[in-house]
Amino acid sequence: MIPDAALDALYDAPPARFVEIRKQVAQDLRKSGDKDAAAEVLALAKPTPAAWAVNQLARRHAAELERLAAVGERLRGAMRRGLAGDASASKDVAAIEKEQRATIAELAKLAASLLEAASASASAAVVERIETTLRTIGTTGAWGGATPGRLARDLEPPSVADLATLLLEPGPVPAPAPVPARVPAASPETAAKAAAAKEAAAKEAAAKEAAAKEAAAKEAARREADAAVRAAAHAEKSALARVDALRREAAALRAESDRAAARVAKIALELEAAREAERSAGDAASAAEGRVAGATAEAEALSDARAEAERARRALDG
């Protein structure tokens, strides 16, 4: 059997160090000669993040967790009263369930802070598993077969059959009735009436038990359906939020695409203007070259005329 001190050292450890400390605890037990306990320690599974967080609530915040247990005890009592035919029980159940949800929300927030302090993930999915585990512990008053503070896995909501069995658990065993004084044997007629009365009482008791089981099953089914509705609503809310985010992202991409198209159109216009300017400059250059060629020809003609005039003047002078 694993000593409590060894288990406390293991389940108190941060999630990131569980495997390391499990190995160290097993080595210490083996060195002390307790090989069986060492093997049991090595077989212990590492708690899930949600299970680890709930374990820490039991170890470090027992008073807060005790409030959840007290609420759960009152909830089970109100449900049993409802199964017994108490008309006011349904209102009490609704009020206590509301109190239970508020208590679970506070504990889940505290558990998330413990995860973050241990550098572990406290995502929305983990917090949801914490809440489910706490609700199961609070409603059933049990840790799913585990010792409080030593969970290895998240707990699922109790099934309809589990909840019905829980609500139909017998109360305290009554003290034995005093042995009656010896009476004379009854007549056959009296014995027959007594047997008939006993049979009728047994049938009535069986009918009441069957009705109680049916009512418990209906109540459990209602709670299960409520949980399913809440889960569906949460999933729908998450999906709608995702759709909204995708729509905003798509709108931003469309706006960016429009801006890019406008920039491309502007660049295309500027490029066309540049090409037009280039063509105009080419035409102007060609015209200028033509004017230069005409001026050059005119200058050459004037030079030739001046030379001819000079020759004619010299001829006149000679």
User: Residues of the chain with pLDDT > 90: what percent?
Assistant: 46
- What DSSP assignment string belongs to 2-44? --HHHHHHHHTS-GGGHHHHHHHHHHHHHHTT-HHHHHHHHTP
| pLDDT value for 288 | 81
What is residue 292's predicted lDDT score, i.e. its pLDDT? 83
User: d(Cα 177, Cα 221) in Å, to the nearest integer?
Assistant: 39
**What is the tens place of the pLDDT at every residue in 9-61?**
999 999 999 999 999 999 999 999 999 999 999 999 999 999 999 999 999 99
> How many CA atoms within 13 Å lie on the side-chain side of 76?
23
Share of the chain above pLDDT 70, in %: 75
What's residue 213's pLDDT? 63
**Comparing 44 with 170, which gets the higher pLDDT?**
44
pLDDT band at 242 (very low <50, low <70, confident <90, very high): low
Q: What is the pLDDT of residue 145?
A: 92
Q: What number of other Cβ atoms are within 10 A of residue 201's Cβ?
A: 10
Q: How far apart are CA 120 and CA 272, in angstroms?
A: 60
Per-residue pLDDT at 12? 92
pLDDT at 201: 64
Amino acid at site 44: L
What's the Cα-to-Cα distance from 287 to each of 161, 200, 274, 290, rounded to whole Å?
A: 102, 128, 20, 5
* Tally of CA atoms within 13 A in the half-sphere of 24 that contains its CB: 10
User: For the segment 206-228, what is each residue's pLDDT rounded down to a tens digit?
Assistant: 666 665 566 565 665 566 656 55
Q: Out of 73-87, 186-200, 243-257, 295-309, which region has the weakest mean confidence (pLDDT)?
A: 186-200
Residue 69, pLDDT > 80, answer: yes
Band (pLDDT 50/70/90 cuts) for residue 65 is very high
| pLDDT, tens digit (0-9, with 9 covering 90-100), for 179-194 | 333 334 444 555 455 5
Give the predicted TM-score (pTM) of the model: 0.55
pLDDT at 116: 96
Q: Can you tell me whether residue 135 is helix, strand or coil?
A: helix
Residue 182's pLDDT is 38
